[in-house]
């Protein structure tokens, strides 16, 4: 938990939880409870999310069994259509290179819980074990980016109350 604290998260039991512009890349956040639930959820659509994460990155982090329940996770800008750049070489051959990465790039989501979270501009491309994460009741995933249509459909079905697997 100390490793998480020193990277800019405000984690105070019983109070507002938040982070802004935090790059938590390459961290072990296994079993970290960022938010156990949203205590304001009983207010329905009038409730704000208790914990907010704005423009945070979890690239190559272990988020297995981490809890973001009831949180709002948003990114200021929509993700690019692709993280790759394709180009023609002078010799007539083609090439490509990765020019950007999504916030969950190679993050391990096995057992992570995003139960009843709200997402805006989310990008789950290249996340590991995404189908083993819990997205039950999550909102805003309709515009999120996923590796393929099958993963997208499974996550959206789970968010609507079905199963991801």
Query: For residue range 20-41, what is the model confidence (pLDDT) as tens digits?
Result: 445 556 788 898 887 765 555 5
Asked if residue 21 belongs to a domain, the reply is: yes
In a domain, 109, yes or no: yes
**Residue 34, in any domain of the structure:** yes
Taking a C-beta distance cutoff of 8 angstroms, is the pair 115, 135 a contact?
Answer: yes
Q: What is the pLDDT of residue 100?
A: 82
- Regions in the chain scoring below 50 on pLDDT: 1-16, 20-21, 43, 46
Beta bridge partners of residue 97, listed in sequence order:
85
Residue ranges of alpha helices (H) inside 6-147 are: none
Give the number of domains in the chain.
1
Inside any domain, residue 149? yes
- Contact assessment for residue 107 and residue 56, using Cβ atoms and an 8 Å cutoff: no
Q: For residue 64, give Cα distances in angstroms to 45, 94, 132.
A: 29, 38, 9
Residue 36 lies in a domain: yes
**In this structure, is residue 84 part of a structural domain?**
no
Predicted local distance difference test score (pLDDT) of residue 128? 98
Could you give the 3-state DSSP secondary structure of residue 91?
coil
């Amino acid at each position: 938990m100390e490793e998480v604290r020193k990277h800019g998260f405000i984690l105070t039991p019983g109070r507002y939880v938040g982070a802004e512009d935090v790059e938590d890349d390459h961290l072990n956040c296994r079993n970290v409870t960022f938010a156990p639930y949203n205590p304001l959820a009983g207010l329905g659509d009038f409730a704000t999310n208790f914990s907010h994460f704005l423009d945070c990155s979890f690239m190559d982090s272990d988020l297995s069994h981490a809890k973001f329940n009831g949180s709002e996770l948003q990114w200021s800008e929509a993700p690019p259509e692709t993280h790759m750049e394709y180009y023609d070489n002078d010799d007539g051959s083609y090439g490509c290179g990765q020019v950007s990465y999504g916030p969950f790039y190679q993050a391990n989501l096995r057992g992570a819980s995003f139960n009843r979270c709200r997402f805006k501009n989310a990008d789950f491309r290249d996340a590991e074990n995404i189908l083993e994460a819990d997205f039950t009741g999550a909102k805003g995933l309709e515009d999120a980016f996923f590796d393929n249509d099958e993963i997208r459909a499974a996550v959206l079905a789970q968010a609507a109350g079905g199963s991801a697997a």
